[in-house]
Structure formats: structure tokens, C-alpha cells
Structure 1
Amino acid sequence: MPKRIDWKDVALGTSAPDAEGLLGALKTYEVTKCNQLACVVCPEDATHKMRYRLLKCASEACASSISSHGQACTWRGKTLSCMENDVVSIFQVGEHVTAASSPRRKRLTPIQKTYVKELTLHHLRSMRIRHAMSRKFETVLQDLPSLNTVQNFVHHYSRTHLARNDRVDDLRKWIHERAFTGREDLVRPFTYAWDLDADGKPVVGNGSEERPFIVGLTTKTLMLRLMRPPESFILHVDATYKLNYWGYPVIVVGISDSSRGFHLVSMFIVSGEIQDIVQRTLMALRRLYSVLSGHDLVVQYAMADADQAQYNAVNAVFGNNPRFTSLMCFFHVMEKVYKAIKAFPSDTKAIIVRDLYDMHFARSHNEFVRMREDFLMRLMDVRELTSFAQYIRGQWLNRRYSTCQLYWTPTGFASTNNPVETFNAVLRRDYTLRRRLKMGALLQELSSCCHDKSASVRVFSLEVVPAQTLVRRVSKMIREKLLYEGGRDQVDIASAGHIRVISCSAKRIQVSPNNCSEEGIAVTAQMGLNYTRMELEGQPYGGWVVDTTRMWCQCSYWFGFGVRVRVLFAQRTLEYLDCAGREILVARGTKKNGADDPSARDGQRGGRPLGVGPALTY
């Protein structure tokens, strides 16, 4: 039978902050046992639990005292903390060897712990939290607990109270609590997956090949963004990495409109990027859309990187549409090409890149085939470029990854995965803070992102809207006298709203550190060499004829993006737009300075017709 210990009361039923102060006044101790038992601090009918802890003296003064004769200090302590009510009881037994106390390690006070908990919610690092404590409590860093103490408290609080850990049971509980039921609000995030258990909850695996980890997060508002004509959007599928400690990719699914604006639809955390896993995510997306809308999801354009798993999965799920086209990201193609031609001479690289951009802006498949054959023939004539010609012909100009030309989609649509890549950058900057998170924390942040994107109002553009960079480029080119009105001929310009515009190329400046050149205008208005060439190439004498009513021009740049600097300049000249690119009312008054007005007809701009006499005649 265990020996009965005669515990002496130190504090009975005191509050947690007061108990923290009493324990802080004791000599240094360590916890030797910590269990959960039925609560005896509260009345006898209490059914909840309490935390039972045994304390042992760890004071260096007692251990090194001469009077101890090498024996351990007999002081012991006990605390009973109710886990439901803020009540703590403290007991002790025995005496310390010496009353002298050794230097104590600084600990966090209850007020400091509360402040640290608030900052931990926002994923602040322990070092920043410690510096924030110094400013908050007006205390120098030397008087605060050590960084190791703050780190231990932050990590323990995150794991135990915020579910920021990688335990499968905790992750499964969090996912099942937020599983899709159909009764959610429009902006409330929920989880879903393709594989469901007997209760209709997502099956949560441990990430192995036998039990993959696949979970999706979205809201009803995000999913209903797909309720649009299939020819009015491009479905983007892209995987982003370095968001969690275990290397699980996050697959982002969204759509882009006619102005290349990105609209998030759903996000998935998966344990691998093989075809079977990616296909399950897209099938879950398609099934969820059918449940919410009552219609089958029809996709006409889908864009992904040159990943075999993504390509096969996208075609397997959405390929039943006879008009479906799997697009290839042009930026990804050029990135691989730049790596392949890195060792070539600079003039050879410039010619290859120029020809690839010409094929990218081809206006029909027949034109692309003609340009491709001519390009490959010129490469094969050079013995040093034979291997590169075989590589680019088999990988990027034929077969499945050759759909990066602009004629595959309507004018103005995205030709790269840049819309979703821009979203991925925002996800890292605003939610993960460019850090690798625990899986529990990552799920919470992605859920918050879905909620924020659902609450934000962003118009889905069915028409091409000029980007702000293009608007700034017009202003800078006008200031540098690189953009001006050409001669007006009544034969070429037969109706109102037509104007001739001449644009000139800006002087290029050599940048030494990057060993390249750039336009000699403001950085915010600069454009790449090949895109600038598409604006100027083929410009007739006297300038391009621009139709401001249809925002139409014959140049290749307009064919690819649906808008260009000449169109914006023409609209501004005719006073359809202000300097910020916003549409304004057309001025109908007469010109006071006597200058030629391209919108005037028969010598009159607006107002009372000249052929109409006074209202009252004699």
C-alpha cells in the first residue's frame, strides 16, 4: 500500500493568474509527472477532468549546499488544475535544504503569454514576437525571457490549441468538421474529395502510395463562378510548392476571363502529382459542380504546364467535349527554350526567339505550319543546330504540347499561366508569409484565402479591358512623342470613329549588369522587345487605321491581346477616354482653338446643325 503523503495547502481554488504568480515565487522546480484525472477541485458531481502535476526541486542552491551531504532536496509540490474552470489548487510537502535561491530562468508572465498567443495567431516568428514584447511592455530584451523560452511556448501553443501540426487524427478531425453538407453559406469554406467514407466525409490518408492525402477547399461562391459559357473562360490548373514541411504540392484551379483576370475556383492539397491523384481532384471538382448547379461542367479551354500527369488528367476529365482544347503555357515553352539555347551565340539565340514569337502570333493553323516548316528547315541546314531542331520539333512544335499559339483561343485570352502564377505569389505573400507551414496551419490559411476571395467582388470581364501598364505606356509614349496622329484620308477613313495612328519604337538602352537592353522610357511603361516588334511590324506609311468603336486594329499585337497603345491613343484623341484609361462622355461642343477634329463631319463636331436656321424668323 503506497505511503500517504501529508500535503500542506499553499492555495486552494485560486484563479490561474494568481496560481501562476505563486508558482513563480517558488524556487526552481521541474515537473516529474503530468496526468489527466477526474476533477476534484470542483464540486464532487463534476464530470470533467483536471490536470495533475507533481513538482520536484531543481534548485542549484539546494543541490550544491554543504548541509545536503550529497542527498537530494526533500521538497515536493503538487498542482491540480481544472481543465474546464479557471481554478487551481497548489500543495507542497517537505523543506528545502537551504533558503537561498539560485538564479531563476526568466519565464513568461500571464500577461505576456496572452500577448504571445495573439501574435501567434498571425504566424509571426518567435524572434519578431520577442521584439514586439519589448516594445509592448517597454522592457529591454535582456529583461525578457530568452528566445528559446518564447519558441517553446509558441510551438506548444500552436500544436495543442491551434491544431497546427501534422498529426493525421487532428487533420482528419479538422477536415471532417468542415466537410461539405450542402447547408453551408455562400462564403463559408468547406472541404471535399473524390473518395468518401460511409458518412460522406472525405477519406484522409497519411500520404503514402497506398493511402494518398487528397483534400480540396472551396466555397459555393467560388464554385458557381464556373456557371458561364464554356467559350468565355480558360480553366487553369497549376501546382505550387514549398508551402508545407512535407513537400506536398497545392493544386490551384481557377478561370481567367477575356482580360486575363484570374478568378479562383478551388485549391487542393495532395501528397503527389501523379495522374491518378490529379484526376481524382478534377473529378471531385466536376462532381461538386454538378451537385451545386445541377448541370455538368463543360470546359472548352484548359491550360496547364508541360506535366504529363496534369495533361492526361485534364484530358481524361474534360476531354468528352468535342471542342475541348488543351492549351500549353507559352511562358513555360520559352523558359525551356532559353535553357536549351543558353550556349548558342547571341545572334543565333535572337533569331530563334524571334521566329518562335512569330509562330506564337500566327493567325491560323496553316500559317503556323508554313512558318514551322520554314523554321525547322533553316535549323537543319546548320549542323550545330540539328540536335536542337530535333528537340524543339518533337517537344514543342508537334504533338500534345504544340498548342501555345494565339489562334487557338479568342482574342485577348491568356496565352500563359501567368494569371494563376500571380495568384500563387499572392498566396505566399499574404497567407503563408513565404514560409513552410505545418499541414494543419496550411489548411487554415487556405480556408481563409477561400473565404476572402469569396467575399471580394471582382467583375468577370466578357470584353477586353486594357491593363494599367498599357495605359501608362500610352501616356509615356505621348510624352516622348513616340505616338501621334497620322494623316487622315477620306478614302481610308470613311466613317466616324476611325483615325490613323503612327507609333515609333523607343530608343533602347544597354543595361550592363543584365547584359541586355531595355526601352528608354519609364520602367512601368516598358515592354519586351518581341512584343514591341508586334506593334510596329507591318505598319503602313501614314500609320495604322484604328476603329475606336470596335477597338480594332490590324496589327499582330491587337490580334493577340485585343487592345494596344494605338487603340487607346485613338480613343483618347477622340476624347473617348481620360488619361487613366476610363471611358468618358464624348464632347459635343465646337473646338475653340480651330484645330482639326477627327470626329467632326461637314465642318461641325456637334451641337445645333448648321443647316437649321433660327427657331424664330421674320
Structure 2
Amino acid sequence: MAREDLIVHGERRGVDIPGGGACYISQLPRKEASDTQPEDLRPGAHPTPPTANENQARYVAKFDTVLQDLPSLCSVQNFVHHYSRTHLKRNDRVDDLRMWIHERAFTGREELSQPFTYAWDLDGDGKPVVGNGSEERPFVVGLTTKTLMLRLMRPPESFVLHVDATYKLNYRGYPVIVIGISDSSRGFHLVSMFIVSGETQDIVQPTLMALRRLFFALSGHELVVQYAMADADQAQYNAVNAVFGSNPRFTSLMCFFHVMQKVYRAISAFPSDTKAIIVRDLYDMHFARSHMEFVRMRDDFLSRLRDVPELIGFAQYMSGQWLTGRYSAWQLYWTPTGFASTNNPVETFNAVLKRDYTLRRRLKMGALLQELSNCCQDKSASERLFSLEVVASPTLVRRVSEMIREKLLYAGGLEHGEIASAGCIRVVYCPAKRILVSPNNRSEEGIAVTAQMGVNYARMEFEGQPYGGWVVDTARMYCQCSYWFGFGVCVHVLFAQRTLEYLDCSGREILVTRGKQKNGAPDPVVRDGQRGRRPLGVGPALTY
């Protein structure tokens, strides 16, 4: 019989194993119970759940205090707030705010992504003048970085300057003016932010003047703006025109979303069919392709309103506020195709600012300055590129896929007597059925929610469609529909690109297939009668 050694519990014991041999079992020395160890924790004892008093005794032994002697939650919060105000400068004291602002004042020696403060009014040391927010001493301070400011070094016709105010960020009720630019694909790029104690022209105009002076100090060039968009605010309009109006091509745009918001309020008491007609006419004027076309549509719209006695007052309101005068430039023909026609890009940024930095709370002014400084630094490190060409949004790409699945988009044929032109393809568009959604009596398209579009925007995809479908120029990626005129891309162009195998199902450009189809079907990649493989003008090798 073989013997094997087995060590168990520190004692060596020999055990015979069938087949020969022995097993030595060693037992490890057992830990003896100390005199201070509780009875229920001694070896062999069955532990019992600790009582509340025993838990409290263990807590006292660990922290050397009892629960009743701990300070209340209110006391702890007061201590934290006191420490934040006194040591972290997160308060509303003017002296502390002035110290924080002056420590970070612009000197020109900052790193590209280092936040700094600046303003129009400077003291003897060249630092921003910090007031107490009164009418006599307004509080105006701007924050930015060199990287953000140098985003303005672009041709003036390649961007739209957005000026918008956001609220509910601090306890004192001071608005934050956000200044940025949008590119050809309506992407927003932050430039600077200002905390101001009011929104009068005497306060808003110096912020833009400080922005222009700082840009000249960094780049050595004057800031030239061709398109600027603001809300229907008298102070913002006057300030923007006073600072940038020296450019003879300058155009002060009006946010179309703001116009529709005011119109919806004015027509809230009208019958539903009357409201639908008014909104439809306004969208038609928004997509007007020239000023002459807009004037014709405007006169017809006002004439029909004045024919109804109950709508004469509304006609006067529309004519004086939104169809003539300083707030009437909300049509798409004022800017190049694809540019933003609303302040939605900056509104989206404002939502991110409240969600990620202020956490949807009102902060003390010192804390708000720090959070805005962090935001400027983060946006300086952003890798988002400035788009000089129109890029289709993910929603539009999903819309094309969904409409293809529902067989609402397909290639059309030639009209009778029409000669096929190289580089052109016809795309037939069928409107999606609309279903009524109950509780708010609103209709939606009968396709996937992620691919749905508003009824008036979707209307621009098929209104005026010729027999046989829209003609899409695949060389310029141009379509004649009104939606392409407004956004520079449409479902017809994306469908044509996918038909020609220029794009995959996610909307990304892929290599063109050059192989010949085996079934003999017409190859969509034909160019001037030439399929893939070897060009017709190139013969076999060693030919004469």
C-alpha cells in the first residue's frame, strides 16, 4: 500500500490508502479564543444577530462618539457652505469676485486652452472693472480662451454669429449671454460667454465691443461679420447692428423659431383649421427662394387675412412685427443653403450648459464663474471640426432608411420624350401616411419615431414634385425640392447616393463598386457608357 502525505490543521497523521501507501494528515494550530472575545464569536459558538444597542456600541467604539452627539444635517450643510464661501470664493461678495476676476484677467501670455476674463471697461491696471450690478455700476465680465476666440478667423460668409441670453443660472437673476458661430451644417461652436447684470443696449453693446477688441489683439485683424442672429430683443438688435453694421453686406437675421413661438401664442384662440392655414402660409414664406417671391406671398397672405373681419387685428400685428421692419429677415434666402435659420444650435448648447455644469441649479456668482471657466476650457479641447460643407444629420439618414423600407422612395423613369442626361437620376417620393395621436389631437407620420419630421417640413419634400420624380444631379448632389433649398441635403439626394452605391446604410461614404454585374442587369455605376473593368479605349497588351 502506497503512502502519501496530507497536511491538515498542522498535525501530521498517517493514513493507509487502498492500493498501498499511507496519507499523513497534519492539522494547523487552532487559534485560541482570547479573554476579550465575545462568547458568541468564540470557536464552536453559534453567532446571533447583533442588537441595536450592540450596533451602537460598535459604532461608538469605532468613531468614539454616539449618534445623538453628531451634528444635524443642517449644521453640516452650513459648515460646507461656509467653507465654500470663505475658502473657495463661491459667494456673491464683490471683493472676492473682483479678486477672482483680476487673477484671471487677460494678459496675452495665457495658453491656448487657458480660460481668462475680459471686459470693455478696464481700470488703471488694465483689468476689468467689476461693479455691484446696479444701474450706476453694472456687472459685466466675459470668459473665453484663445482657442475659442480664434474660431472667428474665417471668411465672414462661412458662418453665422449667434447671440443669445440664457437665464436661471444664478441666485441674483443675472443673464448669461452666449456668443458663438454655426457652420454650414448648423453645428455650434462656442466663442465666448458674458455674465451681465442687465440686457439694455448700454450693457450688451460693450460686450460685443470687447469681443471685437480682443479678437484684434489676438489675430491682428478686424472682426468682420456678415450674418448675425439674435432674438427679437431691441437691445440685442441695436447692439449687434451698432458693432457689426459697418460691413455693407451685414444682415441681421431673425430666429424663425422665435417668430413661430410668438405666432402660436397669438393664434391660440383661433379655430384649428384657421391656425393650420396660417402656419402653413408662414412656412411657405420661410422657404421662399427670393425676396420678390416672399413679397408676393406676403401680400397675398395679408390680403386674405384682411378679408376676414375677425383677423384684421392679427393682420396688423403680423404686418407691423414680423412681415416688415427690422424683425422680418427670417426667410431662408437671406443666407446660403444649409445655414441655420434659428437659434436652435445655441439653444442646444444652453441645455448642455445647464445639464453638465450647473446641474440645473442656481449658483452663487463665484461658483458660476468657475463653472463657466471650466466649460470654456472643455470646449477648447473639443475635436469637433468646423464644417464647410453640408453634412446630413443622423435623423435624415434614418429617415431615408425607413422610407426605403416602407417603399416610399424609389427610382423613377424618364418622361415621354425625355432624353436621359449623364449624372442625373429621378427619385420618386411618396408621402407617408399620417396617423392621429390622442391625447393632444396631433398627427404624426406612420413611420419610425426616430425618422419622423414635422408636417410642414415634410411637406417641402414632395410639394411641386414633377411627374416621374425629382431630378437629382449626382455630380453636384443637387435637388430641386424646397427642403434641399433650405438645408442643402434631402432624402432624394441621399437615396440617389445610396442607389449609386456612394453611401452605406449609415450615411457614410464608401468606395464605388467598379465590377460588372453577372446577371446582365443595368449597372448603376455607368459613367458615359463606360462600365467598370478596363476602359474601352485601352486594348489588350502588345497591340498595334
- TM, length-normalised to structure 2: 0.86
Letter in 2 for 1:309: A
Out of 226, 234, 237, the position equivalent to 1:300 is 226
Any residues of structure 2 matched to 1:74-93 within 5 Å, and which?
none
Q: Quote the Cα distance in structure 1 between the aligned partners of 2:329 and 2:177.
A: 22
TM-aligned CA deviation for residue 110 of structure 1: 10
Whether the 8 Å CA contact 1:243–1:442 is kept in 2: the answer is: yes
Q: Quote the Cα distance in structure 2 between the aligned partners of 1:187 and 1:492.
A: 58
Out of 314, 321, 328, the position equivalent to 1:402 is 328
Whether the 8 Å CA contact 1:590–1:604 is kept in 2: the answer is: no
Alignment deviations for residues 84-104 of structure 1 (CA, whole Å, 9 cap, x no partner): xxxxxxxxxxxxxxxxxxx9x
Q: Cα distance 1:191–1:596, how it changes in 2: closer, same or farther (>3 A)?
A: same
Letter in 1 for 2:225: V
Any residues of structure 2 matched to 1:129-528 within 5 Å, and which?
146-488=72-414, 491-496=418-423, 498-528=424-454
Any residues of structure 2 matched to 1:528-539 within 5 Å, and which?
528-539=454-465
Q: Quote the Cα distance in structure 2 between the aligned partners of 1:110 and 1:256.
A: 57
Whether the 8 Å CA contact 1:188–1:219 is kept in 2: the answer is: yes
Q: Quote the Cα distance in structure 2 between the aligned partners of 1:474 and 1:387.
A: 43
Alignment deviations for residues 128-181 of structure 1 (CA, whole Å, 9 cap, x no partner): xxxxxxxxxxx9x99975422331232122112221100000000000000000
Whether the 8 Å CA contact 1:197–1:203 is kept in 2: the answer is: yes
Residue 571 of structure 1 pairs with residue 497 of structure 2 = yes
TM-aligned CA deviation for residue 615 of structure 1: 2.8
Alignment deviations for residues 91-134 of structure 1 (CA, whole Å, 9 cap, x no partner): xxxxxxxxxxxx9xx99x999xxxxxxxxxxxxxxxxxxxxxxx
Q: Cα distance 1:566–1:434, how it changes in 2: closer, same or farther (>3 A)?
A: same
SS in 2 for 1:236: strand
485-494 vs 339-348, greater mean Cα deviation: 485-494
Aligned to 1:80: none
Aligned to 1:38: none
Q: Quote the Cα distance in structure 1 between the aligned partners of 2:543 and 2:249.
A: 68
SS in 1 for 2:228: strand
TM-aligned CA deviation for residue 604 of structure 1: 4.9
SS in 2 for 1:207: coil
Q: What residue ranges of structure 1 are gaps of 5+ in the alignment?
A: 1-102, 112-138
TM-aligned CA deviation for residue 593 of structure 1: 3.6
Any residues of structure 2 matched to 1:538-549 within 5 Å, and which?
538-549=464-475
Aligned to 1:15: none
SS in 2 for 1:536: coil
Aligned to 2:522: 596
TM-aligned CA deviation for residue 511 of structure 1: 0.9
Q: Cα distance 1:172–1:530, how it changes in 2: closer, same or farther (>3 A)?
A: same
Q: Quote the Cα distance in structure 2 between the aligned partners of 1:160 and 1:322.
A: 52
Q: Quote the Cα distance in structure 1 between the aligned partners of 2:129 and 2:530.
A: 73
Q: What RMSD in Å do the two structures reach over aligned CA positions?
A: 2.2
Q: Cα distance 1:383–1:110, how it changes in 2: closer, same or farther (>3 A)?
A: farther
The number of equivalent residue pairs is 484
Give 4+ residue runs of structure 1 displaced > 3 Å after superposition. Answer: 141-146, 488-493, 601-604, 609-614
> Identity over aligned residues, as a percent?
83
Aligned to 2:510: 584
Q: Quote the Cα distance in structure 2 between the aligned partners of 1:510 and 1:272.
A: 45
Whether the 8 Å CA contact 1:488–1:499 is kept in 2: the answer is: no
TM-aligned CA deviation for residue 605 of structure 1: 2.3
SS in 2 for 1:235: strand
Whether the 8 Å CA contact 1:499–1:598 is kept in 2: the answer is: no
Q: Cα distance 1:537–1:143, how it changes in 2: closer, same or farther (>3 A)?
A: farther
Whether the 8 Å CA contact 1:328–1:416 is kept in 2: the answer is: yes
Q: Quote the Cα distance in structure 2 between the aligned partners of 1:382 and 1:406.
A: 29
Aligned to 2:18: none
Aligned to 2:11: none
Q: Cα distance 1:494–1:269, how it changes in 2: closer, same or farther (>3 A)?
A: same
SS in 2 for 1:396: helix
Letter in 1 for 2:236: Q
Q: Quote the Cα distance in structure 2 between the aligned partners of 1:110 and 1:472.
A: 59
SS in 2 for 1:179: coil
Q: Quote the Cα distance in structure 2 between the aligned partners of 1:511 and 1:266.
A: 42
TM-aligned CA deviation for residue 551 of structure 1: 1.4
SS in 1 for 2:125: coil
TM-aligned CA deviation for residue 579 of structure 1: 1.1
Q: What residue ranges of structure 2 are gaps of 5+ in the alignment?
A: 1-55
Q: Cα distance 1:295–1:488, how it changes in 2: closer, same or farther (>3 A)?
A: same
Q: Quote the Cα distance in structure 2 between the aligned partners of 1:564 and 1:110.
A: 67
Q: Quote the Cα distance in structure 2 between the aligned partners of 1:449 and 1:592.
A: 57
Q: Quote the Cα distance in structure 2 between the aligned partners of 1:144 and 1:456.
A: 46
SS in 1 for 2:460: helix
Q: Quote the Cα distance in structure 1 between the aligned partners of 2:204 and 2:418.
A: 58
TM-aligned CA deviation for residue 597 of structure 1: 2.6
TM-aligned CA deviation for residue 617 of structure 1: 7.3
Q: Quote the Cα distance in structure 2 between the aligned partners of 1:422 and 1:447.
A: 19
TM-aligned CA deviation for residue 493 of structure 1: 3.6
TM-aligned CA deviation for residue 288 of structure 1: 0.4
Q: Cα distance 1:110–1:538, how it changes in 2: closer, same or farther (>3 A)?
A: farther
Q: Which has the higher contact order (CA 8 A, sep 6+)?
A: 2
Whether the 8 Å CA contact 2:422–2:528 is kept in 1: the answer is: no
Whether the 8 Å CA contact 1:548–1:570 is kept in 2: the answer is: yes
Q: Quote the Cα distance in structure 2 between the aligned partners of 1:460 and 1:292.
A: 20
Q: Quote the Cα distance in structure 1 between the aligned partners of 2:115 and 2:534.
A: 59
Alignment deviations for residues 434-489 of structure 1 (CA, whole Å, 9 cap, x no partner): 00000000000000000000011111111111111111111111111111111146
Alignment deviations for residues 251-280 of structure 1 (CA, whole Å, 9 cap, x no partner): 000000010000000000000000110001
TM-aligned CA deviation for residue 381 of structure 1: 0.2
Whether the 8 Å CA contact 1:232–1:258 is kept in 2: the answer is: yes
Alignment deviations for residues 522-542 of structure 1 (CA, whole Å, 9 cap, x no partner): 111110001111110000111
TM-aligned CA deviation for residue 547 of structure 1: 1.2
Q: Cα distance 1:326–1:617, how it changes in 2: closer, same or farther (>3 A)?
A: closer
Alignment deviations for residues 418-441 of structure 1 (CA, whole Å, 9 cap, x no partner): 000000000000000000000000
Whether the 8 Å CA contact 2:412–2:428 is kept in 1: the answer is: yes
Letter in 2 for 1:541: Y
